[in-house]
Structure 1
């Protein structure tokens, strides 16, 4: 009799424990989903800030009179950038190839503003293009590089984007020139947001480091290499 009662009690306890664990797991998933949504929203807000739009529209205005073809191209690039950014803002992750399409549109628009002050170098291994990355991650790093590097150097400089896969991990680098003087307002916001999203998605398996030297700064991201 006691044995039967103990068996029933143990079964009820095990079922209750499983139910609690499932409930905790559901709560964790909901919390993660909500946190990721908030983080994506902040990344989108960082990209579509008024200062960036002001610069883009100023570029269009400056081109309208003397270079109408370039002005139309600028409008096309801005429209494409807004569309791609809004689509990416609804995604958690996507292929690096899709992320780079967004980055190239952004840099094409910035090239009209900076002219020969902005140089771009892409070194991306073919097997890295299908790797899964957080949406707007590379875009955030590149915008940070333009804002804190090229824009603050009178002579401009080169933005280098590199990506390859090593030992089952995706390695990303965004390099930019270093400028002297005080940093503009908002320094570190984009990087902090990027680190938060990487931690939410990959935990300790992903890293984002920033190394600032006397002439160049390099933001390096590593994360597990999985196809999108």
Structure 2
């Protein structure tokens, strides 16, 4: 006699929107909105809220796996929040440092590389943009294959940007002068700048590799499409 198999309950749209990790994501959005609203009037509160939001980026993923609430919407919400938050901070830095184009270029690299990576993931039929097992670049594979290494690079990048914002005393700071002063000074913020530079550099290199790799996928997709009868 065949055993009755339990039919899994189909979740409603509202229940997915109310997944715990997604609620954390909404909280991050609100936290960042408030943080950027007061960024010039209270730098320290801004930095604290921004960094807490960044830490929540790691917590929501753990919660999603812990409670079996992994969702495509949550992954997209997470990435969009990350990219917009970093973009806003880079825009602010471009206004308080000269040359501001340095930070706008970093913004373009960050957005462009991640957008291309997401699109190439879609073309390859992969479930996650972090699936780079078939990549031939060792650094690219190490970055996405080792959570601790990726976390270090991401944290270093955000810490550098926050520290630079704290070090800016006016709207016409010269970036190189501040970096040189950070090396010679012994303040906590200056030390954070120096310690985070290596991880920041690795992340930018990975972004460049990611952009090139993803662009190659798009080009090969076009070539293969033209070869089809």
Fold match (TM-score > 0.5): no
More strand per residue: 1
Higher helix residue share: 2
Q: Which of these two proteins has the greater Rg computed from alpha carbons? A: 1
Category of TM-score, reference length = shorter chain:
0.3 to 0.5
TM-score (norm 1): 0.33
Q: Compute the TM-score of the two structures, normalised by the length of structure 2.
A: 0.33
